[in-house]
Structure 1
């Protein structure tokens, strides 16, 4: 699958005669990098590519579709929110050293690259520097700055395009035609401009999670629930998503403090709360909270071994403290 905003990059990569031994495809999450990489992997393995696309009918394509291609290895976290371990990378290194069983390329897809712990990243370096035979490694990353410089320098780094708001809204309207366009615009805002994340939010479970967080924040500020109680009830939520929402809200507070700009159209359920917090808190307090949010989000993305409940409780206590400042 190639999304409309990826067409230019696809033309560039699919028409290459000689491929790099390692690619680092990077860009904002939720913009289709994984689907793009899978399509690229299919092309690299295909025995009879047609028009810059995998034929989907040759032996290699059929084996890949069945998940049994002997010359393809995917390296992914074994569990959600867990790192890619050194044993997984050692298995990758052994795979790279072998001869391709179908006589073509060997291909490795590793995602997300920033999920590798330090030992795993160091174990990968030699394979990146001197891959055996006709091997192509495809690494995906939402946060390339978190990779070792030596990892980045051994790959052909390719920024993946981010769609414009118009492209994202057009795509969303095609995927979820039953949804109100205004709600699609709100979901795109909640997802930080990432259309695929916005699509998941527009599903019943995504909207339910969003509603639970919004109502929980209101209950916290009204002293109807404690930070500890909310943290327990939010334990199953996507931590990165929650931190993204709170960071977006903190930005909205700063905009109101500096320019009196309200986000009512995009934050209809939260704009009164954000206006209240903008009046009660100082700009420095909000900026300090933003810095903390970014630091904790990096830990979440880095698959750190976090106590989810304690982290959420700390987040809620810091958020509530904004209202206590006035």
Structure 2
């Protein structure tokens, strides 16, 4: 049974309490807030033969088959490999499933996650099934980045924003999920995860705080001319490229914010506060805006899985970063 997160309670009451369901839902919101679990919970309820109020019973034939991963009327579509696109052949297999009759005599339920992983051909192949799914079929689409979806995909679904928990809810949940961390560590992880508690747990598992310390130390040495861009690009080979660009994007935003407001409360996490303040005071605003535009453009390429030379890209980023001070 998928976990029921406390911040989803009101939304669950709304979705599960419907007397008539739409043929397609688009559940969207930031990554790491429990959208997949919500979709799996709804999928179980929709397939259950003897629902207990607003929950699947967990004991009927349908629930047991779903728990075993062998339900004939359930189809999960996702990338075949992490960070790879959903291909058109995968969608064609899904379309073949949708046109079949439900084997248990009830609904068929499809879960697609993340929807934005579909390439353009795959997305177009899904449109007919999204508009008029055969029989009693319900499609649950999960998206972390709905802005990347085709308008024709979004228009065929009931779009449902999923709530981001507030800091109090997130920290209360993380207190149980990460008992080995102290309160300050959980606060840092939640900040690095942009407020998404499940993402914070994932970041802790991949050693993000150690990775962050390595990058921060490298940036400081870069600005002191103690290490070169090429040395750092090699040293950071194990750190996800998107994570690096997220951090540099955040730091450029903080530099601009301080230049405009001189608000010392808005300098970000303690590890880079002095560096951000130094860059804000020593760098020309137009130069900061230029590097921010460049970072955002490259970040989009990274997110789109473009074929990039990682080392050369990082060297270019770090060379530009090193040149910020003194150019006013």
Place the TM-score, normalised by the shorter chain, in its bin: over 0.9
- Secondary structure of the corresponding residue to residue 207 of structure 2: helix
- Secondary structure of the corresponding residue to residue 33 of structure 2: coil
Cα 1:103/1:235, change in 2 over 3 Å? farther
Counterpart mapping for 1:3-22 below 5 A: 3-22=5-24
Distance in structure 1 (CA, Å) of the matches to 2:64 and 2:142: 24
2:271 corresponds to which residue? 269
CA contact 1:252–1:263 (8 Å) conserved in 2: no
Cα 1:313/1:265, change in 2 over 3 Å? closer
TM-score by length of 1: 0.92
Counterpart mapping for 1:159-170 below 5 A: 159-170=161-172
Count of residues in correspondence between the two structures: 326
Deviation at 1:6, TM superposition (A): 0.7
Distance in structure 2 (CA, Å) of the matches to 1:141 and 1:98: 26
CA contact 2:114–2:141 (8 Å) conserved in 1: yes
2:177 corresponds to which residue? 175
Deviating 4+ runs (over 4 angstroms): 263-266
Distance in structure 2 (CA, Å) of the matches to 1:277 and 1:144: 34
1:202 corresponds to which residue? 204
| Structure 1 unpaired stretches of 5+ | none
- Secondary structure of the corresponding residue to residue 269 of structure 1: helix
Task: Please tell me whether residue 88 in structure 1 is matched to residue 90 in structure 2.
Answer: yes
1:251 corresponds to which residue? 253
Superposed CA RMSD? 2.0
Q: Which residue of 135, 138, 145 maps to 1:136?
A: 138
Cα 1:155/1:201, change in 2 over 3 Å? same
Post-superposition Cα deviations, 1:96-152, rounded to whole Å, max 9, x if no partner, equal 111112222111111111111111111111111111111111111111121111100
Counterpart mapping for 1:186-265 below 5 A: 186-203=188-205, 205-262=207-264
- Secondary structure of the corresponding residue to residue 74 of structure 1: strand
1:120 corresponds to which residue? 122
Distance in structure 1 (CA, Å) of the matches to 2:298 and 2:159: 27
Distance in structure 1 (CA, Å) of the matches to 2:295 and 2:135: 44
CA contact 1:115–1:303 (8 Å) conserved in 2: no
CA contact 2:267–2:276 (8 Å) conserved in 1: no
2:111 corresponds to which residue? 109
1:151 corresponds to which residue? 153
- Secondary structure of the corresponding residue to residue 139 of structure 2: strand
Distance in structure 2 (CA, Å) of the matches to 1:262 and 1:250: 15
Distance in structure 2 (CA, Å) of the matches to 1:109 and 1:89: 12
Deviation at 1:38, TM superposition (A): 1.4
Distance in structure 2 (CA, Å) of the matches to 1:101 and 1:264: 57
2:305 corresponds to which residue? 303
Deviation at 1:50, TM superposition (A): 0.9
| Structure 2 unpaired stretches of 5+ | none
Task: Please tell me whether residue 58 in structure 1 is matched to residue 87 in structure 2.
Answer: no
Deviation at 1:304, TM superposition (A): 3.2
CA contact 1:83–1:302 (8 Å) conserved in 2: no
1:316 corresponds to which residue? 318
CA contact 1:186–1:266 (8 Å) conserved in 2: no
Distance in structure 1 (CA, Å) of the matches to 2:40 and 2:277: 44
CA contact 2:254–2:266 (8 Å) conserved in 1: no
Post-superposition Cα deviations, 1:276-306, rounded to whole Å, max 9, x if no partner, equal 2112222222223333333333333333343
Distance in structure 1 (CA, Å) of the matches to 2:172 and 2:100: 45
1:325 corresponds to which residue? 327
